[in-house]
């Protein structure tokens, strides 16, 4: 079968492309925004990429068009597909019908930490010899690809609450029918499609409602939103983490050591490959979920030391003249604060220069503006790229104005960061997009000064 994917360079749709190719299908795709790491990964796999959405692409006569949720009515290729009555399907539905059917699905849901926790869980199963298939919204360094299809009955998937497609406004994760589900946390996000937190809680309860009786939910016990979700009805096994009467991870003898326990009984300790208390929690959830498929906590804890991290999650991009540049996907205020906190635990008193692009749909709407100053408070200097936003970023960041530069000129901002940076500094770049290749621009400019 030939499938043509609209929006192929999104992390989810790019993963669909890899799975379809592994299943023996002919795969091609198109997108308007092509940037690494997904574009590089697809090209390495020999998948044809077309820039843009020219209706002429129908001449390739694919058997079905798989439509990503970034593609809306008015898209010229989508309109041509609809006008001609050609077959199309959403990515989650295609995945459910062609890959997940008959497998033990382990799904990781939550506002934050999905990619890290999914990658950790896939690695724990891999290290235990279970050879799982997976689809992650990033590229785990242990695997080098964002998705993999195997003959294992186990499949680990990042379960996004964003809507499915132009034709299906349910959350993606309701298609996956997991037997094991992690509910990592739940805050308000995706303001472009959800009116309020209660609307997202309803979608999470839809996920809970489709879990089988012999399924297991691992839920974050510190989140009142998740407690409300569970109180609406739960028909599966339920275990709480991040609380003393359930699964718990605490800091050990050093900031990078985690001590794990279940109902007060010690399970072991590990030096964490990822910094921050949020990553202790992510690892804890993965260990708890892995136990549901037979991986003992001792085996899982031991595997943590061999986890190599994920691209774009505090990923080291380079060090020039003593200035270290990191790339991170953080874009929600909570994630920004946790990322800076995690880096601070690593680097101590070294200066952190936070470089932010408010690019997500929620951030573009300005609904998180009031939370931004506090999320950036722990950084020593803040550089915010404020192009094509409908709200006053400088006004929002006024409480930290003394250490903040706001600019809509990327070149000028790169120059300002390079002028400010000195040996020992950590430059932390945070965006959910390509950010104009700022990471390499910074490294090149640092080399040239």
Which tokens belong to 200?
Answer: 């997202």
CB 312 within 8 A of CB 414: no
The 10s digit of each residue's pLDDT in 422-443 is 999 999 999 987 888 899 999 9
Average pLDDT over residues 228-240: 98
The 10s digit of each residue's pLDDT in 376-422 is 999 999 999 988 788 888 999 999 999 999 999 999 999 999 999 99
- Count of other CB atoms within 10 angstroms of residue 219: 30
pLDDT of res. 37: 66
Average pLDDT over residues 65-90: 97
Q: Kindly tell me the sign of the dihedral angle through the C-alpha atoms of 157, 161, 162, 167.
A: positive
Give yes or no for residue 272 having a pLDDT over 90. Answer: no
CA distance 290 to 327: 29
pLDDT of res. 36: 67
3-state helix, strand, coil in the chain (%, to 5): 35, 25, 40
Could you tell me what percent of the chain has a pLDDT over 70? Answer: 98
- Count of other CB atoms within 10 angstroms of residue 302: 15
What φ, ψ does residue 414 adopt, rounded to 5°? -60, -45
For 102-304, which CATH superfamily applies?
Mur-like, catalytic domain (3.40.1190.10)
CB 197 within 8 A of CB 224: no
In three-state secondary structure terms, 289 is helix
pTM above 0.75, yes or no: yes
Looking at domain 2-90, does it have CATH number 3.90.960.10? no
Strands (E), 32-130: 48-51, 64-67, 88-90, 104-109
pLDDT of res. 345: 81
Which tokens belong to 69?
Answer: 């949720």
The 10s digit of each residue's pLDDT in 99-143 is 999 999 999 999 888 999 999 999 999 999 999 999 998 889 899
CATH of 315-448, one of 3.50.50.60, 3.90.190.20, 1.20.1110.10, 3.40.120.10: 3.90.190.20
pLDDT of res. 121: 98
H or E element, residue 338? helix 333-347
The 10s digit of each residue's pLDDT in 283-294 is 999 999 999 999
Scanning the structure block, which residue is given the tokens 């295609």?
Answer: 94
More confident residue, 413 or 191: 413
pLDDT of res. 311: 75
CB 443 within 8 A of CB 321: no
Give yes or no for residue 353 having a pLDDT over 70. Answer: yes
Q: Is there a common fold for 2-90 and 315-448?
A: no
pLDDT of res. 367: 75
Give yes or no for residue 51 having a pLDDT over 70. Answer: yes
CA distance 138 to 12: 8
Strands (E), 162-297: 163-165, 168-171, 180-183, 216-220, 237-241, 247-251, 257-262, 265-271
Sorted by where each begins, the domain ranges of the chain are 2-90, 102-304, 315-448
Residue 338: pLDDT band (50, 70, 90) is confident
Which tokens belong to 108?
Answer: 């990781």
Which residues, 6 or more positions from 329, have their beta carbon under 8 angstroms from its beta carbon? 115, 138, 312, 313, 335, 430, 431, 432
Average pLDDT over residues 157-185: 94
CB 418 within 8 A of CB 443: no
Cα→Cα distances 358→335, 364, 427, Å: 12, 6, 17
pLDDT of res. 334: 82
Degrees, nearest 5: CA angle 162-284-232: 50
CB 344 within 8 A of CB 378: yes
Scanning the structure block, which residue is given the tokens 């070294």?
Answer: 350
Alpha helices in 237-371, H assignment, sequence order: 277-292, 297-304, 333-347, 361-364
Degrees, nearest 5: CA angle 139-100-296: 70
Query: What is the Cβ-side half-sphere exposure of residue 126, based on CA atoms within 13 angstroms?
Result: 18
What is the DSSP-derived secondary structure letter of residue 11?
Answer: H
């Amino acid at each position: 079968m030939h499938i043509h994917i609209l929006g192929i360079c999104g992390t989810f749709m790019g993963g669909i492309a890899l799975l379809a190719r592994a299943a023996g299908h002919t795969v091609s795709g198109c997108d308007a925004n092509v940037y690494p790491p997904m574009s590089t990964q697809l090209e390495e796999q020999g998948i044809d990429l077309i820039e843009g959405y020219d209706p002429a692409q129908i001449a390739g006569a694919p058997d079905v068009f798989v439509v990503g949720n970034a593609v809306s009515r008015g898209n010229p290729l989508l309109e041509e597909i609809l006008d001609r009555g050609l077959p199309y399907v959403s990515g989650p539905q295609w995945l459910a019908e062609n890959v997940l059917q008959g497998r033990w699905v382990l799904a990781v849901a939550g506002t934050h930490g999905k990619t890290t926790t999914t990658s950790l869980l896939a690695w724990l199963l891999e290290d235990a010899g279970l050879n799982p298939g997976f689809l992650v919204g990033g590229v785990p360094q242990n695997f080098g690809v964002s998705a993999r299809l195997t003959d294992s009955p186990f499949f680990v998937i990042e379960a996004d609450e964003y809507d499915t497609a132009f034709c299906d406004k349910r959350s993606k994760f309701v298609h996956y029918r997991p037997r094991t589900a992690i509910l990592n946390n739940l805050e308000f996000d995706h303001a472009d499609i959800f009116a309020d937190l209660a609307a997202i809680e309803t979608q999470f309860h839809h996920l809970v409602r489709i879990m089988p009786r012999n399924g297991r939910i691992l839920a974050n016990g510190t989140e009142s939103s998740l407690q409300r979700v569970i109180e609406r009805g739960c028909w599966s096994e339920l275990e709480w983490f991040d609380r003393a009467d359930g699964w718990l991870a605490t800091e050990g003898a050093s900031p990078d050591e985690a001590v794990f326990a279940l109902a007060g009984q010690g399970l072991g300790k590990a030096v964490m490959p990822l910094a921050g208390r949020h990553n202790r929690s992510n690892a804890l959830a993965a260990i708890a979920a892995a136990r549901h498929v037979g991986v003992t906590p001792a085996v899982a804890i031991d595997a943590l030391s061999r986890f190599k991290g994920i691209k774009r999650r505090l990923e080291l991009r380079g060090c020039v003249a003593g200035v270290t540049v990191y790339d991170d996907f953080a874009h929600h205020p909570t994630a920004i604060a946790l990322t800076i906190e995690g880096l601070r635990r690593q680097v101590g008193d070294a200066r952190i220069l936070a470089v932010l692009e408010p690019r997500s749909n929620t951030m573009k709407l300005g609904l998180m503006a009031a939370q931004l100053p506090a999320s950036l408070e722990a950084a020593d200097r803040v550089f915010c790229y404020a192009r094509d936003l409908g709200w006053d970023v400088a006004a929002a960041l006024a409480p930290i104005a003394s250490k903040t530069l706001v600019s809509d000129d990327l070149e000028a901002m790169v120059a300002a960061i390079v002028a400010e940076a000195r040996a020992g500094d950590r430059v932390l770049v945070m965006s959910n997009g390509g950010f104009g290749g700022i990471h390499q621009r910074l490294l090149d400019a640092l080399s040239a000064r």
